[in-house]
Structure 1
Amino acid sequence: MTDRGPSGVPWLANALVTAQTVRAELAHDPVQFALQVSRRLPHAVSTPAARLLTTTGRLADGALAAVGHQILGDDEAARHSLGGRGRGSRGTALLATAALGSDDDGTAAALLDAVPAEHRGAGWHAAAARLALYRGELTAAVDLARRHRSNRILARRLDAERRALNGYRPQFGPVHPGEAVPGRVLHVLNSSLPHTSSGYTQRSHSALRALSESGFDVHAVTRPGYPVEVGIPWARREDSVDGVTYRRLLPAGLDQDAVGRVDQYARLLSTEVERLRPALLHTTTHYTNALVVAAVAEAHGLPWVYEVRGQRADSWAATRAPEAVDSEYYRAFTAREAESARRADAVVTLGEQMRRVLLDAGVDAASIRLCPNAVAEQFLPEPPGRVEARARLGLDPQDLLVGTVSSVVDYEGLDLLVRAAARLAPSHPRLKVRIVGDGVALPGLKVLAERLGIADRCQFTGRVDRSEAIWNHAALDVFVVPRRDLPVTRSVTPMKSVEASATGRPVVASALPALAELVQDGVTGQLVPPDDDAALATVLGELLADPEQGHRLGAAGRRWALDTRTWEANSRTYTQMYADLGVAPVSAA
């Protein structure tokens, strides 16, 4: 490429990827694209724009107003905007697509069913395909999209996704063998710091730093198109963070369907393997990464590790009706994940519940290693005190502060925390709720707080820099993890409560198997029945009334975290696993 300027930014390639991404997402689902864009814009921009949309009334049959309400988190008002009937097939299709933005597939289906068969045009079939995809009916989605020529881009994309989920193997051309560099490992990631700050990227970063300190020659690449396709057109080809270099796979253009993207991913990764000559490849969920890494590792004669950090199919099902777990998409996705784990030379996972899921999927027990979520280096020294933290953050030292530092998504159950606070508010005049983080559920939480009359007691900070996380933990009286009772929350252990314990905060969490691995009831925190805001309010009230109990639980939690949840310990596990695969640190090679 000749467009790479002094800053190291491949501007032309990035511009092409941005344009392709916008075009593809608009064809796939214009409403979801609008919602995604709004979540990446500053609230000072997205909120006024959304409010303007809510004033459009019946323009576009109310769909624009509905999208505005969805951006603001008011799904009830969005459904009210969709209460009419669209003018013709196109108007109804737009309304149905907008209904899916509120996870209201029932309204979408009713709108589409009301259109006579003879009036069902391209827009209707596109919306019907999106509805089928939302419900996990992949084959039906493809068939519906194919019924009209104008939907051929959507049809190709849906069909490619179905093929990728059902046994497709990457095709990536000739391989040029070479001798591996001893002790060199290449991690293949979805995303990374500094462009994405999340539990996933922090875990990756901590693992890479720990392995480097253990003597490995560590390298990392991220998926093709990242981070440009998530709204960072100024991305460089490499970023260095704390001595860890993340290389970006930024081609001049991205293949626009799942099959083409998998092949392109494999080609780009194979080129990186030939450039770096690692002795081992290490990737993370989900199956697309595993599919590509397995093929490239096999072609180059390398061992590979699959790190199962979550259950994406269960996260998908969490926002849908119970029958979603019987859908074609869910079954195919879970089968592909199980196949990937069985195929790997070694498997890493986060906790006992996830280990049991892997065993039930037929993964060899001898190949599985547990590397739990561990605390980053900043949490190891003595944490700041509550008064010091509040002074830094400009918070009242006399307030009773309960909250979380978390991604704000529906299955985290943070609405239960807001409801519990509303129950406690009359008897606790100094009670405040502090929710640090961002996500799709944040606008809805703000609406809920307004409706419950406690908006003035709720502090929604949005996303903060990772360096500020420890201060936000330390400022709380009680850290709360009110996850809902769902398959994904029963098996996946989060990072947030481990960091809270390391900071010496008492943790109140839902009594779910995965969370019971992290919170010892009555010792490091309290477990409460999930989906029960009354029970949550009772336990919070008891802890707030007895600060000494909170101090005791927090101190025990910190001892537990420092004894069992460090990257030094995880590094030893990784090192032994790599040794079993024939790869030793550079210093020991």
Structure 2
Amino acid sequence: MACNLALAADTTVRRLREDPALFVLLLSRRLPSSVAGKVAHAVLNGAPIPAGSRLALTASLIAGDHRGLESRLRASAARRSHGGRRRWAAEVAVVAGRPDLADPLLGAAAPAHGALARTLARRLWYDGDVTGAISALDGEGRAARALQQRLISERQVLSGWAPRLPSAPVDPIGSRVLHLLTNSLPHTGSGYAQRSHSILLAQQHIGLDPLAVTRIGYPVLVGRALASDRDVVDGVPYQRLLEGRLPATTEQRLQRQAEAVLRLGEQFRPAVVHTTTDFTNALVGGAVARSLGVPWVYEVRGMLADTWASTRGEVARHSERYRLSNAREAEAMCAADLVITLGEEMRARIMEAGVDPARILLAPNGVGGPFLEEPLEPREARKQLGLDLPGPVIGTVSSLVDYEGLDTLIDATAVLAPSWPTLHLMIVGSGAAEAALRQRAARAGLTDRITFVGRVPRAEAAAYHQALDIFVVPRRDLSVTRTVTPLKPVEASASARPVVASDLPALREVVQDGRSGLLVTPEDAAALAMGLRRLLSDAAERVRMGRAGRAHVLAHRTWEANARSCADAYEKVRGRGQGNDGRRDGID
């Protein structure tokens, strides 16, 4: 506990010093969304405060009041104010994803020096100008030098650095698989964590012996100061790497992490090391596998450079950071003994990176556990959850982030609401876009027609899928959404619910248009409303599509089937890479 508290305190101090506006926003998200939003709105609607004050800007950011924030930032740029206030306004603009509004604030204060230089560096880093961000900190004070050293280290990791470990070959135990994860249950409930847990459970079920290790400092780094160094969830062990203080730079942290994972590997003696995106996990996992003398698998769950760029516009896709990150991902894919991925679109991207198709295995998102049981009817599921909604109920279970396109879903609901007096929209999940979505619902006059459920316990996730009459996936048309196949619509189909989704390549892999659901034009509220109207008007078609989707998922997309194909692939890579002495060829 003392170790965790020390790490939490050290992390808090660093984040406050290095990125104060982001720290405030992240801290607000640790509170229940309704609480944070109410406090922010109370500040904005209470006693008069200057529009460009730190308090007003911060409250607008937390409340998700994009229009009010833009107005306040423009006012701050137009008026003469002291450097500290302008700098905070620029910090808030960058964190809010509006660097265009930060530029006038920074430009008017040029030349940047001291604290303002740190803000300028964060502004350049936002666009992916790695070298420019580092150069902006030249010749500045102690705090700037600390930030510069961290950014230099990140550039090194993006540019070819890798952990160095001694050779430590083991006599592997054939059933053991060492998994390296970024985060996990029970502290993170994302689709990433859910997929990881489902894979680990299924591997246990078929006789493998998996051990999951999360990144160094997790989960204390995400605010779980009371966490243990080991969790067991449904019989699956999760090992944590916790220390009282972490090194300041990315290189040092990854080196420390690799050394800690190697010590675990020497004790555990895995036959395979299995790691997931991003490439920093691959750097650690690959180094540990080479040291132990066993093969390693890289599971590519997304193109994270595309995810990063999705909120930043075209400038990010031509940036130094984007180019370097993609190059490192390609390097990791080509170095792994086997690459696992989720769908055909991602397989194509991996082949473009130079990976032999014979070394790529498809392991699509699947279902297990309660999703295999016969689903309840929507009204019965809502009754069990205590939801007094006569229906019909449309909605989604999702992370609330911009690329999910939930603003389009709210707009489509506004189109449909006059024709269906009892229509209700239910959004289950949490995320960075929640405050802005609540604001949009209020402006549309839909506060009483939309329920933001928030994050729900994992045990209730299937029931919330079943509580919907129609499941909606209104993703925006971006590189990341065209490539990555999400988990939730697969679970919705397993729940016998029709899915209305954006017509994107990755979603065509999980929604059979006209059979298990409907595909509509992305980012088009009228088109989405038209698709929803068709199913709202025909209960029999909803049932038919739901049954067809469930049959397809149960036949082709289960975690146990994935686990068996992975186990077969593990055996093949072990056979390819081992010499007569049981060690991998080419390992010193």
Same fold (TM over 0.5): yes
Matched, 1:70 2:61: yes
Question: Per-residue CA shift, 1:494-517, capped at 9, x if unaligned?
Answer: 001000000000000000000000
Q: 1:111 aligns with which of 71, 80, 105?
A: 105
Secondary structure class of the residue paired with 1:288: helix
- C-alpha displacement of 1:48: 4.2
Q: CA deviation at 1:252?
A: 2.6
CA distance, structure 2, for counterparts of residue 53 and residue 121 of structure 1:
32
Structure 1 match to 2:14 = 24
Distance in 2 (alpha carbons) for counterparts of 1:306 and 1:59: 52
Distance 2:329 2:50 in 1: 44
Please say if 1:425 is aligned against 2:417.
Answer: yes
Asked if structure 1 preserves the Cα contact closer than 8 Å seen for 2:496 and 2:547, the reply is: yes
1:87 corresponding residue in structure 2: 81
1:143 equivalent to 2:138? Answer: no
Report the equivalent of 1:300: 292
Give 5+ residue unaligned stretches, structure 1.
Answer: 1-10
CA-to-partner distance for each residue in 1:439-461, whole Å, 9 max, x for gaps?
00111110000111111100000
Q: Distance in 2 between matches of 1:467 and 1:216?
A: 24
Rounded Cα–Cα distance in structure 1 between residues aligned with 2:32 and 2:444 = 26
Deviations 1:210-230 (A, max 9, x none): 111211121111110110100
**What is the CA deviation profile of residues 523-553 of structure 1, one whole-angstrom value per residue up to 9, with x for unaligned ones?**
0000001110100011111110111111111
* Cα shift readout 1:362-411 (whole Å, capped 9, x = no counterpart): 11111100000001211001011212101112234532111001111100
Please say which of residues 345-354 and 150-159 is displaced more in the overlay: 150-159
**Are 2:170 and 1:170 aligned?**
no
Is the contact made by 1:421 and 1:537 (CA closer than 8 Å) also made in structure 2? yes
When normalised by structure 1's length, the TM-score is 0.94
* 5+ residue gaps, structure 2: 577-581, 583-588
Cα distance in 2 between the residues matched to 1:374 and 1:534: 31
- CA–CA separation in structure 2 for the residues paired with 1:303 and 1:17: 33
Which residue number corresponds to residue 6 of structure 1? none
Partner of 1:550: 542
Q: Which amino acid aligns with 2:156?
A: R
User: Structure 1 residues 550-559 or 101-110, which shifts more?
Assistant: 101-110
| 2:440 corresponds to | 448
Aligned counterpart for 2:24 among listed residues 34, 41, 66: 34
SS at the partner of 2:299?
A: strand
1:414 to partner: Cα distance: 0.5
Q: Structure 1: how far apart are the matches of 2:65 and 2:436?
A: 6
Alignment partners' CA distance in 2, 1:498 and 1:84: 47
Q: Which residue of the partner structure matches residue 274 of structure 1?
A: 266
| Equivalent pair of 2:389/2:424 in contact (CA under 8 Å) | no
Q: Kindly indicate whether the alpha-carbon contact (under 8 Å) linking 2:61 and 2:92 is maintained by their aligned counterparts in 1.
A: no
After the TM superposition, which of the residue ranges 261-270 and 55-64 deviates more from structure 2? Answer: 55-64
- The amino acid across from 1:67 in the alignment is T
How far apart, CA to CA, are the structure 1 residues paired with 2:354 and 2:49?
Answer: 54
Q: Describe the shift of the 1:116–1:372 C-alpha distance in structure 2 as closer, same or farther (beyond 3 A).
A: closer
Q: Is 1:352 the equivalent of 2:344?
A: yes
- The Cα of 1:261 is off from its aligned counterpart by 1.1
1:15 aligns with 2:8: no
The code of the aligned residue for 2:260 comes to L
Secondary structure, in 3 states, of the residue corresponding to 1:84? helix
For the aligned residue pairs, the C-alpha RMSD in angstroms reads: 1.7
Cα shift readout 1:104-156 (whole Å, capped 9, x = no counterpart)? 11110111111243xx3312111110100001000000111233114111111
Q: Does 1:153 align with 2:146?
A: yes
Does 375-384 or 395-404 show the bigger shift?
395-404
Give the Å deviation of 1:44.
5.2
Q: What's the offset of the Cα at 1:277?
A: 1.4
Q: Does structure 2 conserve the Cα–Cα contact (< 8 Å) formed by 1:89 and 1:123?
A: no
Structure 1 distance, partners of 2:442, 2:427, is: 15
Q: What's the % identity of the aligned pairs? A: 47
Query: Residue 502 of structure 2 is aligned with which of 504, 510, 515?
Result: 510
What SS does the corresponding residue of 1:223 show, helix, strand or coil? Answer: strand
What is the aligned counterpart of 1:473 among 465, 480, 484? 465
How far residue 201 of structure 1 moved from its aligned partner, in angstroms, is: 1.1
Q: Residue 125 of structure 1 contacts residue 147 of structure 1 at CA under 8 Å; is this kept in 2? A: no
**Residue in 1 aligned with 2:277?**
285
Distance change in 2, residues 1:61/1:531 (3 Å): closer
What's the CA shift for 1:60? Answer: 10
1:182-239 deviations in whole A, cap 9, x for unaligned? 3211111111111111211111111111111211121111110110100000111111
CA distance, structure 2, for counterparts of residue 49 and residue 377 of structure 1: 39
Q: Find 2:96's aligned residue among 99, 102, 125.
A: 102
1:270 deviates by 0.9
Contact 1:61 1:87 in 2 (8 A): no
Are positions 1:51 and 2:41 aligned together?
yes
Instruction: Provide the residue aligned with 2:354 in structure 1.
Output: 362
* Aligned: 1:464 with 2:470: no
3-state SS of the aligned residue for 1:234?
Answer: coil
What is the Cα deviation at residue 80 of structure 1? 1.9
- Distance, in Å, in 1 between the alignment partners of 2:200 and 2:76 is 54
Query: More displaced, 440-449 or 257-266?
Result: 257-266
Contact 2:476 2:502 (8 Å CA) reproduced:
yes
Provide the C-alpha distance between the structure 1 equivalents of 2:164 and 2:247, rounded to a whole number of angstroms: 13
Look up the SS of the partner of 1:403 in the other structure. strand
After TM superposition, give the deviation of residue 87 of structure 1 in Å: 2.5
**Shift in Å, 1:45:** 4.2
Q: Does the 8 A contact of 2:33 with 2:435 survive in 1?
A: no
Q: Secondary structure at the match of 1:560?
A: helix
Q: Secondary structure in 2 aligned to 1:305?
A: strand
Mapped to 1, the partners of 2:231 and 2:444 lie a distance apart of 44
How far apart in 1 are the matches of 2:448 and 2:525? Answer: 20
Find the counterpart in structure 1 of residue 244 from structure 2: 252
